[in-house]
């Protein structure tokens, strides 16, 4: 059994695999996820956020490891392991195809992996929650709101709350759609994969994008499969 752990800035997610098959998954909290070490053949942690003490014992992914993809990035030493793991997940699911990976977490990353398995980098932008908090924190009167899953952004906000939704969720969707359009000019058969904590929130406004909640964990398992 392989154990994959994704430590983000907001949540810690995990999954176990038998070969390429995901057998169990969940969200880790202190005191939970006490896996029997005797049952685990390999484990790998993707640490973008702070690592809880209970998870320090597991090995961490880095760009110095042997990867199933090749990195064409100017500063691989600064490249987040979550971005690499998600790209490895895209390669596991769509090997030989051009992929655009959108990871909608605390920050939103947009990364391009070509059909030869070469990772070229992409873009980093504030996540939805970060934008909402920024509007509230850096203004005197704008409220802090939450956007419930499934809510669509209006084009025309007719209240302060609707205007905030239009300017955060709407602008995010337009930005991502713009990136997809730019990449599809050169790669018409581009696969677009959407993952991360806000992926389901964004999925309702997309057309033909593939929602893959466990993409980073799948990528960690793919890295473990190639380890010698």
CA distance 60 to 34: 18
Q: Helix, strand or coil for residue 210?
A: strand
CA dihedral 109, 115, 119, 122 (to 10 degrees): -30
CA distance 212 to 16: 16
CA distance 148 to 150: 6
Q: Note if 98 is an active site residue.
A: no
Q: Helix, strand or coil for residue 36?
A: coil
Catalytic residue selected from 39, 41, 82, 98:
82
CA dihedral 192, 204, 81, 9 (to 10 degrees): 170
CA dihedral 80, 82, 85, 87 (to 10 degrees): -80
Using the 8-state DSSP alphabet, how is residue 143 labeled?
P
Contact 203, 211 (CB under 8 A): yes
Distances (CA, A) of 3 to 48, 212, 214, 215: 17, 18, 13, 14
Token readout for 59 is 């090995």
Helix (H) or strand (E) holding 84: helix 81-93
Which residues are designated catalytic?
A: 82
């Amino acid at each position: 059994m392989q154990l994959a752990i994704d430590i983000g800035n907001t949540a810690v997610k995990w999954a176990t695999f038998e070969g390429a098959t995901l057998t169990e998954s969940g969200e880790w909290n202190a005191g939970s996820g006490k896996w029997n070490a005797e049952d685990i053949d390999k484990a790998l942690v993707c640490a973008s956020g702070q690592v809880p003490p209970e998870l320090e014992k597991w090995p961490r992914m880095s760009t110095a490891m042997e990867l199933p993809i090749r990195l064409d990035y100017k500063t691989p030493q600064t490249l987040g392991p979550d971005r690499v793991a998600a790209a490895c997940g895209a390669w596991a699911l769509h090997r030989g195809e051009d992929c655009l990976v959108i990871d909608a977490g605390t920050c939103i990353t947009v990364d391009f992996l070509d059909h030869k398995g070469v990772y070229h980098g992409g873009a980093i932008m504030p996540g939805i929650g970060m934008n909402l908090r920024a509007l509230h924190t850096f203004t005197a009167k704008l409220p802090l709101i939450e956007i419930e899953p499934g809510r669509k952004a209006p084009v025309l906000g007719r209240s302060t709350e609707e205007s905030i939704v239009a300017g955060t969720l709407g602008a995010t969707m337009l930005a991502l759609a713009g990136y997809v359009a730019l990449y599809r000019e050169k790669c018409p058969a581009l696969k677009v994969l959407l993952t991360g904590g806000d992926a389901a929130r964004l999925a309702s406004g997309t057309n033909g994008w593939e929602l893959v909640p466990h993409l980073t964990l799948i990528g960690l398992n793919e890295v473990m499969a190639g380890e010698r």
